[in-house]
Structures are given as structure tokens and as C-alpha cells.
């Protein structure tokens, strides 16, 4: 288990991590999600020991590693740009950390071949790393991290250089590899889709704190704050004054698909639209508020649409009131 205890980190006057605590289970795929500049990379750097904490501690399997230098922390880090050694073969890249440790040649061969098989790159071992695709390079980077058998892994948006389709495939692969390894992954991304599809649990980083930590469905269904409701989802959660539905002193939050079109509670005018396959997201002006609803069929800007809300959550002072 990895315990993050009251992590605080600032750069000059800028407080980036403002007392973060969480326990990450062994074998968990833990994703830290936040917008650009939220402090995700900083979080990984303090765990890795590349940046020093102002205060707080990191305890791994009961041992405080916070004051250890990076190389003594027994973790592996995979970055956005894989930083592979360009003039070496795939084999030599993967073997590199083992050579540094003085592992014997036979043992290196055995280990490299094993991780290469795990990642499906066994046929590329003799290739130069600059002559393989981005997706393959990414696997080499992961193989190089895995081969050291670290106690856990830190991944900083490792899929962000891949095109959308390869990325989708790579996510599935990564999840499979993680399960096969039984490794603990701490993975940071600003892409909520990626977070939702990979994570056992997601931590939403906002203003130096984990604003919510939970399984993906929980974050989607019961966002702890309005901010999380707007941040998670292909489209933000809608918010309307409670009194529209007869509820005083609260705001009502609902997802675009939690409505029934042609229902008779509200009317709105289509101001724009976005088609996603067979569905269309309609951006409506309803009274003085913007509301997004999901529909199917033909619509035009300027159309009048009526709808009712099937499911909703109540929020007070920015926080959810309804419990699961
Ligand atoms: N070495 C540094 N010196 C000063 N400020 C820094 C340093 N590194 C990061 N920051 C600042 O700390 C904040 C958090 O940066 P960080 O890179 O951790 O964010 P991030 O969530 O990873 O962003 P992104 O998704 O854009 O990579 C930013 O405001 C950034 O400008």
C-alpha cells in the first residue's frame, strides 16, 4: 500500500499541493485527473523524489520513502515523451536499467524476453527504437520500466503522443498489462475519458486538493461538487435553480442524457448542436440558462424543444446533498 500523508508542495509563493492524503492499494490502477496546471506532474515528481516536499510523507508498505533519493525509491516512471535511447535497439533500451544494476547477461536476456512477450514486442527486439511506431515505442518505454520489477509505477500521460485510435487500443493494453503484473499504477492525465476507462479509482485534483476520490461511475453519478460535475463527462453536468422544480435553496444538477425529450416540464430553443454518431447533443436556451440535452433525430438551430428531467442531484453551496 502507498500512503500519501498531507503532501504539501509550493513553487515560490505558488501552493501547488495543499495537503493531499490518500491510501492507494497494492495492485490498484489509481488515476489522478485534473486540468492543465492542476499539479499532476508535480504530484508524481514528489512521489518519485525528483522534487522535494515542503512537508508531508510518502509511506510504501510501511516504510517512509519521503527522504530517500529517487534511485532508492524502487519505483518506475514512464513519461509523456518516452525518452528512449535513440541509437540503441529495442533490446538494449529495455536492458539498460538492468545493465546499470550489474545484472548478469543471461539474466538480462531472460528478463528482457519475458517483458517483451508480455507487451507483444518480442519480434522488435533487434530493431532500432527510432524505426518503430509511436505505439511500439510507448510499449518499449513501459517494458523498460517493468523490467526492473519496481514496487510501483508512476505514469505521466504516457499515451498522449498517440493518435486517437492507437490510443484507444493502447489503453486496453495498458490495463491488461497492469492486471497481469498485479502492479500498482499511479497514472496522471487531464483526459477524463482516459481516466474513466483505465482507473479502478479516480482522484480529481483541483486547487491543490483531491476534490473527490472514487470509482469512475461514482464520480459521474454523484459528483461531490459542481466543479467535478462539470469537469467529468463528455459534456458538463447541467445546473438549474432548484425552484424550477419546486425545490428551494438548492441547485439541481443533471446530465444531458438524464432528460426525456418531448416531456412537458421545460421548453428551450436550440442554439447549437453537436452530433455524436446516432445521437445529437442540443445546446438549449432555457429561460436565462444554457442547458445541454441528448437527443436523437433531426434538429435545427432555432427549433423549440420540450423536455422533462428523469434523474437529478441536488447541490447546496456547490456541494452535493444527495447520497448514493
Ligand atoms: N519547476 C517549477 N517552478 C515553478 N513553478 C512550477 C514548476 N513546475 C511546475 N510549476 C507550476 O506549478 C503548477 C502545477 O504544474 P504541473 O506541471 O504539476 O501541472 P500539471 O497538472 O501536470 O499540468 P499539465 O497537465 O499541463 O502538465 C503550474 O502552475 C506550474 O506553472
Q: Please name each of the domains of the chain with its CATH number.
A: 2-227 (3.40.50.300), 234-320 (2.40.50.140)
Output the residue whose Cα is nearest ligand 1's atom 30.
37
Tell me whether strands 75-78 and 289-295 are parallel, antiparallel or unpaired: unpaired
- The burial of 199, by beta-carbon neighbours within 10 Å (0-12 exposed, 13-18 middle, 19 or more buried), is given as buried
Q: Which is nearest to 258 in space by CA: 314, 311, 191?
A: 311
Query: In 49-147, which residue ranges form alpha helices assigned H by DSSP?
Result: 90-100, 105-119, 134-146
pLDDT tier, 277 (very low <50, low <70, confident <90, very high otherwise)? confident
pLDDT at 97: 87
What is the C-alpha to C-alpha distance for residues 187 and 29, in angstroms, rounded to an integer? 7
> Which ligand 1 atom sits closest to the C-alpha of 39?
18
Residue 179, phi then psi, degrees to nearest 5? -65, -40
Output the residue whose Cα is nearest ligand 1's atom 26.
36
pLDDT tier, 58 (very low <50, low <70, confident <90, very high otherwise)? very high
Is residue 162 over pLDDT 80?
A: no
pLDDT tier, 57 (very low <50, low <70, confident <90, very high otherwise)? very high
Average pLDDT over residues 275-280: 89
Whether 190 is in the pocket of ligand 1, judged by its Cβ within 6 Å, is yes
Residue 114, phi then psi, degrees to nearest 5? -65, -50
Whether 45 is in the pocket of ligand 1, judged by its Cβ within 6 Å, is no
Output the residue whose Cα is nearest ligand 1's atom 23.
37
63 CB-near residues (< 8 Å, 6+ apart): none
Distance, CA of 287 to chain centre: 35
Return the residue matching grid coordinates 486540468.
Answer: 35
What is the C-alpha to C-alpha distance for residues 195 and 205, in angstroms, rounded to an integer? 12
pLDDT at 81: 64
Average pLDDT over residues 156-177: 79
8 alpha carbon – ligand 1 mean position (Å): 14
60 alpha carbon – ligand 1 mean position (Å): 25
104 alpha carbon – ligand 1 mean position (Å): 40
The pTM of the full predicted model, rounded to 2 decimals, is 0.89
For the chain, counts of helices (H) and of strands (E): 8, 18
pLDDT tier, 26 (very low <50, low <70, confident <90, very high otherwise)? very high
Average pLDDT over residues 134-152: 85
Is residue 146 over pLDDT 90?
A: no
Whether 39 is in the pocket of ligand 1, judged by its Cβ within 6 Å, is yes
Whether 250 is in the pocket of ligand 1, judged by its Cβ within 6 Å, is no
80 alpha carbon – ligand 1 mean position (Å): 14
pLDDT tier, 82 (very low <50, low <70, confident <90, very high otherwise)? low
Whether 207 is in the pocket of ligand 1, judged by its Cβ within 6 Å, is no
Is residue 161 over pLDDT 80?
A: no
Is residue 157 over pLDDT 90?
A: no
E-state strands within 184-288: 185-189, 201-206, 209-214, 238-241, 251-254, 259-276, 279-286
Give Dmax over CA atoms of the chain in angstroms: 74
Q: pLDDT tens digits, residue range 215-248? A: 999 999 999 999 999 999 999 999 999 999 999 9
Percent of the chain exceeding pLDDT 90 equals 67
What is the residue-averaged pLDDT of the chain?
91
pLDDT at 71: 83
154 alpha carbon – ligand 1 mean position (Å): 17
What is the C-alpha to C-alpha distance for residues 308 and 200, in angstroms, rounded to an integer? 33
Give the gyration radius of the chain's Cα atoms. 23
> Are the CB atoms for 282 and 292 separated by under 8 Å?
yes
What is the C-alpha to C-alpha distance for residues 165 and 118, in angstroms, rounded to an integer? 21
Least confident segment among 96-100, 151-155, 160-164, 209-213 = 160-164
Report the residue among 39, 161, 191, 192 best suited for mutation to probe ligand 1: largest number of ligand atoms under 8 A from its CB. Answer: 39
Q: Give just the sign of the alpha carbon dihedral 232, 237, 239, 245.
A: negative
| 19 DSSP 8-state letter | E
Amino acid at each position: 500500500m502507498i500512503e500519501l500523508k498531507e503532501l504539501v508542495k509550493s513553487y515560490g509563493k505558488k501552493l501547488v499541493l495543499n495537503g493531499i492524503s490518500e491510501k492507494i492499494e497494492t495492485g490498484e490502477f489509481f488515476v489522478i485527473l485534473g486540468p492543465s496546471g492542476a499539479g499532476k506532474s508535480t504530484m508524481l515528481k514528489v512521489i518519485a523524489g525528483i522534487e522535494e516536499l515542503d512537508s508531508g510523507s510518502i509511506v510504501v508498505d510501511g516504510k517512509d520513502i519521503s527522504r530517500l533519493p529517487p534511485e532508492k525509491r524502487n519505483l518506475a516512471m514512464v513519461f509523456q515523451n518516452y525518452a528512449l535511447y535513440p541509437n540503441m535497439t529495442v533490446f538494449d533500451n529495455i536492458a539498460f536499467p538492468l545493465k546499470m544494476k550489474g545484472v548478469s547477461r543471461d539474466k538480462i536476456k531472460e528478463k528482457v524476453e519475458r517483458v517483451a512477450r508480455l507487451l507483444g514486442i518480442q519480434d522488435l527486439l533487434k530493431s532500432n527504437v527510432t524505426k518503430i511506431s509511436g505505439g511500439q515505442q510507448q510499449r518499449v518505454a513501459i517494458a523498460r520500466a517493468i523490467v526492473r520489477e519496481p514496487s510501483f509505477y508512476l505514469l505521466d500521460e504516457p499515451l498522449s503522443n498517440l493518435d486517437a485510435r492507437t490510443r484507444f487500443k493502447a489503453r486496453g493494453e495498458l490495463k491488461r498489462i497492469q492486471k497481469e503484473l498485479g502492479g500498482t499504477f499511479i497514472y496522471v492525465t487531464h483526459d477524463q475519458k482516459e481516466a474513466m476507462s483505465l482507473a479502478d479509482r479516480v482522484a480529481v485534483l483541483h486547487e491543490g486538493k483531491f476534490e473527490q476520490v472514487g470509482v469512475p461511475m461514482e464520480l459521474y453519478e454523484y459528483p461531490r461538487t459542481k466543479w467535478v460535475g462539470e469537469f467529468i463527462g463528455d459534456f458538463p453536468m447541467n445546473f438549474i435553480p432548484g425552484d424550477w422544480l419546486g425545490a428551494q435553496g438548492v441547485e439541481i444538477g443533471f446530465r444531458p442524457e438524464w432528460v426525456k425529450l418531448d416531456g412537458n416540464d421545460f421548453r428551450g430553443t436550440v442554439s447549437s448542436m453537436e452530433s455524436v454518431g446516432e445521437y445529437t447533443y442540443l445546446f438549449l436556451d432555457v429561460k436565462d440558462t444554457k442547458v445541454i440535452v441528448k437527443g436523437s433525430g433531426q434538429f435545427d438551430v432555432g427549433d423549440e424543444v420540450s423536455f422533462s428531467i428523469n434523474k437529478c442531484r441536488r447541490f447546496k453551496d456547490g456541494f452535493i446533498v444527495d447520497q448514493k
